[in-house]
Amino acid sequence: MELNQWAFVGALLSIAWLLPVAPIVLNILLAPRRKGEIKSDVYECGVETVGDTWGQIKLQYYLYAIMFLVFDVEMVFLFPWAVAYNALGMGAFLAGAVFILLLIEGLIYAWRKGALEWQ
């Protein structure tokens, strides 16, 4: 790669880093610093808080969220493969088939272990 191409990659990486970091830094620098009992109180739609304000979430929700993320990321990887399927040939078909079979095997394993059952 030429230096111009590396400069372009560096500029894109800098922008990709700057976009999420800049609002955080600006918030830290420009936000008012008022702390007090009312400021740290839990807000519940303008109504007095009822019960324990820090309710514990069941672990089962996290397991479903992780399973969703795994299969959502699978779709992100499979979409370009499906779009370019005709031009890729048999090797790409076998690679995609192995990828899908491994994910199905993981789903069956989780199912047999009871990870998908609500308790």
Q: What is the pLDDT of residues 31-61, one digit of tens each?
A: 887 776 666 666 666 666 666 666 677 777 8
- Structural domain harbouring 85: 3-113
- CATH number of domain containing 13: 1.20.58
The number of domains in the chain is 1
* pTM, entire model: 0.47
What is the tens place of the pLDDT at every residue in 13-35?
999 999 999 999 999 999 887 77
Residue 19 placed within a domain:
yes
Q: What is the 3-state secondary structure (H, E, C) of the chain?
A: CCHHHHHHHHHHHHHHHHHHHHHHHHHHHHCCCCCCCCCCCCCCCCCCCCCCCCCCCCHHHHHHHHHHHHHHHHHHHHHHHHHCHHHHCHHHHHHHHHHHHHHHHHHHHHHHHCCCCCC
Residue 118 lies in a domain: no
Query: Is residue 119 domain-resident?
Result: no
Q: How far apart are CA 58 and CA 56, in angstroms?
A: 6
